[in-house]
A and B are shown apart, each in its own frame.
Chain A
Amino acid sequence: MNNITIGQYIPGTSWLHKLDPRIKLLSLVILLVGTFMIPISVDLIPLITMLLIFVGIMVLTASTGIPMRKVLNGLRPIVFLLTFTFFIQLFYVRTGTLVTAPITMYISLSSMTGIILWLIFYNWSKKYVKTRILYFFFTAFMIFFIQAMLPYINFSSYTLYIYDEGLIRAGFIFVRITNVIIMTSLLTFTTMTTDLNYGIESLLKPLKVIKVPVDVIAMMLSLTLRYIPTLLGETEKIMKAQASRGVDFKESKFKEKVVQIISLLIPVFVISFKRAEDLGNAMEVRGYVIGAKRTRIDEYQIGFADIFSLIVACVILGLIIYSRAIA
């Protein structure tokens, strides 16, 4: 039937795949905290730490057998954010020494036309390019390059000051965001959603003390995961049914679009409510009582690899905190 599997799990037998999900999740949280605790600065130590983390992650990725391409593709959704932050840092930091002479940027007829032409070219040609992310960065760079190179029929201009500190800070944040995304991707690639679910549930367990209904939340999470592919399939069927009644997202005005979206949402809601009722009945008949004690079919054991990984993560965090303290 469907080719989708829930989540992004890529089957494998690497050590990372075999780690207990609780440990993986905990280690990820520790490392994320650590990554954000490295202060944004132009000093040597934070820079090296951040780069070391990047190298470490690359090594980690290689050891899992997950193709690098897949991991880097995880950056696709935030490519815009990455580029935006990079350039903002680059052009707004005015401390340090100038890297090059100030560059005059022209907002002119020629440069605007050039940019528009380039964007059209980019849109058309991007399907032929394999490394789309790099192509995107290149295009962003081109937008500025064109502004610098075509002054003809000028309306206004501004000056770009590129300072070394700006460059460093921009690079720093760029690498930081990349690190965070890749670390999280590695987790989802090497952990089955059921295991992730269990991991989250376990880590939330302490909250039981303050009366947070962890078991219920875990069950809700589990049911949500179970139903995502089913719902996607049903949504597709409804889209086709409504398309057969003339709904066409491409050829319609805004006002029509609103009704069309409603024609998709309402059936999905109706199905979901009926489902909730039926499911509640089924669960009740099978003896489910909210909050009651239950045994679990999944068993997880913590081994040496798990304890070792956790220790490493803690050590890394410790070192980062230490380096902050002495700075």
Chain B
Amino acid sequence: MGIQFKDVSYSYKGLKVNYDAIRHIYLDIKDKGEFIAIVGQTGSGKSTLVQHMNALLLPSSGNVVVFGQNLPPKKKEKINYLRQKVGLVFQFPEYQLFEETILKDIMFGPKNFKSTESQAMEMAKNAARIVGIDESLYEQSPFRISGGQMRRVAIAGILAMEPEILVLDEPTRGLDPRGRRDLMAIFKELHAKDGKTIILITHDMDLVSEYAKRVIVLKDGNLVFDGTKEELFEHPEFDSFHLDLPTPLKILKHLEKEVGIKYQPKYDFDSLLNYLKEVSHE
């Protein structure tokens, strides 16, 4: 099962010329156990790519197979059900809230996929619990809570559909450091507990470094890298990807340049601190 991309390209029709958003993408994503970060400069095609995963966009050429469903589909085939299997959360998802109460809004997704009222309520309450929305807020208007809470309600709205694969487009954009940490903890937990495949679009290399098992790099619509984060950050052609390094590595490069400490990749706080101590005690 999972998602497979076979020579997928997508062009947007412009006024005069067509704009190639993604070109000849080959990708294989398993439906369990993956934690993938999709990175690349703005305009590299990341958003276009993930919108193929829940059939919001259909390839201009090539085909995508999502949980066995071939896309583009044949004439009369219904594909809406794929949106329940692959849950996609856009940037600033709080804009999608509209219902009278928070619980009703979270129930919207499940109900669209034919859950009964009581089933949907069960799924909604479950999702609310996962994102940390307290029972006392269930009957509140979704517009009377803080921005951070609104975001969590929106994400709960997707989680309530119980998707098998979760795709998130910059879920932490605009959040303060604490909010970022809390939100990522939720995804980490989902991944750890149920082995749910999580796909994250992000610009934040620190997020990539801390949470991702696999990194996919897009550049000008092309897939230029698919591997582990160590392979990425230590890649000889890293500069050509136009990406930032995660902070620990940036610090190490900076220290090498300023005080001559030999560069050795260390990815987290403790190992970096220990390395500094090691080097100083010589």
| Set of chain A residues within 8 Å of B200, measured between Cβ atoms | none
One of B77-85, B207-215, B233-241, B251-259 at the interface: B77-85
A251–B78 CB distance below 8 A: yes
Flag A243-275 by CB within 8 Å of B: 1 or 0 each: 111111001000010000011011100110000
| Set of chain B residues within 8 Å of A3, measured between Cβ atoms | 14-15
**Least Cβ distance of A245 to chain B in Å?**
4
Known contacts A3-B14, A262-B98, A263-B98; decide if A244 and B112 are in contact (CB<8 Å). no
One of A36-44, A109-117, A150-158, A233-241 at the interface: A233-241
Q: Can you name the residue of chain A whose Cβ is closest to the Cβ of B109?
A: A245
A245–B51 CB distance below 8 A: no
Number of B interface residues at 8 Å Cβ cutoff, please give it: 27
Known contacts A251-B78, A251-B80, A270-B143; decide if A244 and B95 are in contact (CB<8 Å). no
A242 at the interface (CB under 8 A from B): yes
Partner of A237 from B90, B112, B158, B161 at Cβ < 8 Å: B90
Partner of B112 from A247, A266, A270 at Cβ < 8 Å: A247
B59 at the interface (CB under 8 A from A): no
| Set of chain A residues within 8 Å of B51, measured between Cβ atoms | 240
B95–A266 CB distance below 8 A: no
Known contacts A237-B95, A267-B98, A271-B95; decide if A244 and B143 are in contact (CB<8 Å). no
B90–A266 CB distance below 8 A: no
Known contacts A244-B87, A246-B161; decide if A238 and B56 are in contact (CB<8 Å). no
| Set of chain A residues within 8 Å of B83, measured between Cβ atoms | 243-246
B202 at the interface (CB under 8 A from A): no
Flag B63-103 by CB within 8 Å of A: 1 or 0 each: 00000000000000010100110011110010111100000
Partner of B96 from A238, A248, A251, A262 at Cβ < 8 Å: A238
Main secondary structure on A side of the interface with B: helix
A246–B54 CB distance below 8 A: no
**Least Cβ distance of A294 to chain B in Å?**
34
A246–B96 CB distance below 8 A: no
B56–A240 CB distance below 8 A: yes
**Least Cβ distance of A28 to chain B in Å?**
27
Q: Can you name the residue of chain A whose Cβ is closest to the Cβ of B115?
A: A246
Give bound CA distance, A267 to B108, whole Å. 14
**Least Cβ distance of B69 to chain A in Å?**
15
A238–B54 CB distance below 8 A: no
B14–A245 CB distance below 8 A: no
Q: Can you name the residue of chain A whose Cβ is closest to the Cβ of B88?
A: A244
B45 at the interface (CB under 8 A from A): no
Give bound CA distance, A185 to B95, whole Å. 36
Partner of A267 from B56, B78, B88, B97 at Cβ < 8 Å: B97
| Set of chain B residues within 8 Å of A266, measured between Cβ atoms | 98
Give bound CA distance, A256 to B109, whole Å. 12
Q: Which of B78, B83, B113, B158 has the most CB of A within 10 A?
A: B83
B157 at the interface (CB under 8 A from A): yes
Flag B157-187 by CB within 8 Å of A: 1 or 0 each: 1100100000000000000000000000000
Flag A135-159 by CB within 8 Å of B: 1 or 0 each: 0000000000000000000000000
| Set of chain A residues within 8 Å of B111, measured between Cβ atoms | 246
Flag B98-141 by CB within 8 Å of A: 1 or 0 each: 10000000001101110000000000000000000000000000
Partner of A241 from B78, B80, B90 at Cβ < 8 Å: B90
Within 8 A of B (CB), among A213-248: 234, 237-238, 240-248
Partner of B113 from A240, A246, A270 at Cβ < 8 Å: A246
Known contacts A237-B90, A240-B90, A246-B83; decide if A267 and B96 are in contact (CB<8 Å). yes
Q: Which of A238, A244, A270 has the most CB of B within 10 A?
A: A244
| Set of chain A residues within 8 Å of B78, measured between Cβ atoms | 251
B14–A246 CB distance below 8 A: no
Partner of A246 from B15, B80, B93, B97 at Cβ < 8 Å: B80
Known contacts A240-B56, A270-B143; decide if A246 and B109 are in contact (CB<8 Å). yes
Give bound CA distance, A36 to B161, whole Å. 59
Partner of A244 from B14, B15, B90, B97 at Cβ < 8 Å: B90
Q: A245-B157, A267-B98 are in contact. List 20 more A-B contacts (CB 8 A).
A: A234-B95, A238-B95, A240-B56, A240-B90, A241-B90, A244-B54, A244-B88, A244-B89, A245-B96, A245-B112, A245-B158, A246-B83, A246-B111, A246-B112, A246-B161, A247-B112, A248-B80, A248-B112, A270-B143, A271-B95
Can you show 6 pairs from A to B with CB atoms below 8 A apart?
A: A234-B95, A240-B90, A242-B96, A245-B83, A246-B84, A248-B80
| Contacts from A to B (Cβ < 8 Å) | 3, 234, 237-238, 240-248, 251, 256, 262-263, 265-267, 270-271
A-B pairs, top 5 by smallest CB distance, nearest first, are A246-B112, A266-B98, A245-B109, A241-B96, A244-B88
